[in-house]
Structure 1
Amino acid sequence: MPDREAIRLSVVVPVKNEAGNIAPLVVEIVAACAPLRPFEIVYVDDGSTDGTPAALAAARARHPELRVLRHRESCGQSAAVRTGVLAARGELVATLDGDGQNDPAFIPALVAVLTEAGPQAGLAQGQRIGRKDGRLKTIQSRIANGVRGRILQDATRDTGCGLKVFRRAVYLRLPYFDALHRFMPALVAREGFFVVHADVVDRPRFTGRSNYGLFDRLWVGILDLAGVWWLIRRRRRVPQVEQGGME
């Protein structure tokens, strides 16, 4: 495994009870990121109670790029993402959901969009087209995204998309709270960086049922929305620091 200095990209995947989806998704990630070598894949098992640990162990034996971390008990998707980012060795971090709905084939395009935008671009946010979540969840998500966008003015159509690429150093500057990953565009902008976007094609999950996703619903995330609005209102100016001369 290359050391931290050699790795440019870390792919972080939070999972909970996704045993049947581990092997095919790891194969897709390895193939998609081949042009970006050297890279690593960091799976965070968020307290799974099915065969996920065994599936991850089997995948680890076949793919030296894969690292596996585990929460003793489930702490939620944002916590799993944060665990992965803290452990990541890459300057850039890509995230995607572990159910197969996010196609890793879009990771290189998101990396390119972010790097071409320059160092002041902190986040490349995927925005799903052709949603496969079902009519009710899709409607709920659209309502929540619409309300969030009007309140936070984050110029992002779909913050709930798990496909993102961001600078690890920028993420570490963000205030941490549950559901952070759904408010990243607004919080990245709060730190003085800008956000770029790319459309990504959604697809059905490989197997099983959803274990995350409740924060798509407005009535669950309304307190978080109010908190992020307060944080943005309290941040007035981002200092532009320059190296001073020595007397």
Structure 2
Amino acid sequence: MITLVIPCYNEAGNIEALVQEAFDLLPETLLGELIVVDDCSTDDSIRRLAALRSRHPRLRLLRHARNAGQSASVRSGVAAARYPLIATLDGDGQNPPGDIPALVAAYDPQGPQLVGGVRAKRRDTWSKRTASKLANGLRRRILRDDCPDTGCGLKVFERDRHLALPFFHGQHRYLPALFRAYGATTAYVPVGDRARRHGASNYTNWKRGLQGIPDLMGVRWLVMRARPVLAEDAP
């Protein structure tokens, strides 16, 4: 069974339908719990979510006291999870929850320990698709993480491995590289992509670019310095 973690910031128009869709499509034998982490939204996202709890006892709501970013939201959800296998998807509704079983099926405790989604047909604007393609290519050359689409929010990974990684703002964009640097293997599965139905993205190409260069250099340093070690009980 899995814990599904959904980070949410000002997604009142999308989050309610997304949570309902996840419960409708994912069987109880797979979905142990669903955690939405509200990153101190200023809209009525949390009110809409609270109304769903009477219908879905497996729904858990966490709320940050201040806005901390998507990486912090993912980490809060993972830290609170009751199951050892985590699935994540973005709160804007562009990731189809129905693709999660395919990622879980590709996961193996012996490897791959992280399975990421690859958006086969992006529904974003031309400028976002172009910027993403350029950024993915630059990241692959520098980090050699072999990840074709690090921006896809749909991922399945081991809880304990995630919590053992060095944490920083923007970490969620570099999980494949970090998992590999610390001894895990990765795989990728084609997934769907949908147009945003309501609201506006919390990211712009300019904002991503300003954050991306120093983050990329920092992750390159972490990857180069990583020394995965397996400790065993002494005889």
In the superposition, the TM-score normalised over structure 2's length comes to 0.94
Matched, 1:125 2:132: no
Is residue 240 of structure 1 aligned with residue 230 of structure 2? yes
Q: After the TM superposition, which residues 191-230 of structure 1 pair with which residues of structure 2 at under 5 Å, given as runs?
A: 191-212=182-203, 217-230=208-221
What's the CA shift for 1:214? Answer: 5.7
Q: What CA distance in whole angstroms lies between the structure 2 residues aligned with 1:137 and 1:36?
A: 37
SS at match of 2:107: helix
When residues 163 and 38 of structure 1 are mapped into structure 2, their CA distance, relative to the original with a 3 A threshold, is closer
Count residues with an aligned counterpart: 235
Aligned to 2:13: 20
**Aligned-residue CA RMSD (Å):** 1.7
| Contact 2:40 2:65 (8 Å CA) reproduced | yes
Name the residue aligned to 2:143: 152
Residue 19 of structure 2 corresponds to residue 29 of structure 1:
no
Q: Does 1:45 align with 2:45?
A: no
Percent of pairs identical after alignment?
48
Counterparts of 1:83 and 1:215 in 2: how far apart (Å)? 27
Give the letter for the 2:118 counterpart.
Q
Q: Does 1:69 align with 2:62?
A: yes
Pick from 152, 171, 196: which aligns with 1:180?
A: 171
Shift of 1:239: 2.1
Gaps of 5+ in 1: 1-7
In the TM superposition, residue 220 of structure 1 has moved relative to its aligned partner by 2.5
Task: Give the corresponding residue for 2:81.
Answer: 88
Tell me the SS of whatever aligns to 2:195: coil
Change in Cα spacing, 1:243 to 1:213, as seen in structure 2 (3 Å) is: farther
Deviations 1:18-49 (A, max 9, x none): 11212211121112321534510000111111
State how far apart, in whole Å, the 2-side matches of 1:28 and 1:13 are: 13
The alpha-carbon deviation at position 136 of structure 1 amounts to 0.6
CA contact (8 A) 1:12 1:84 kept: yes
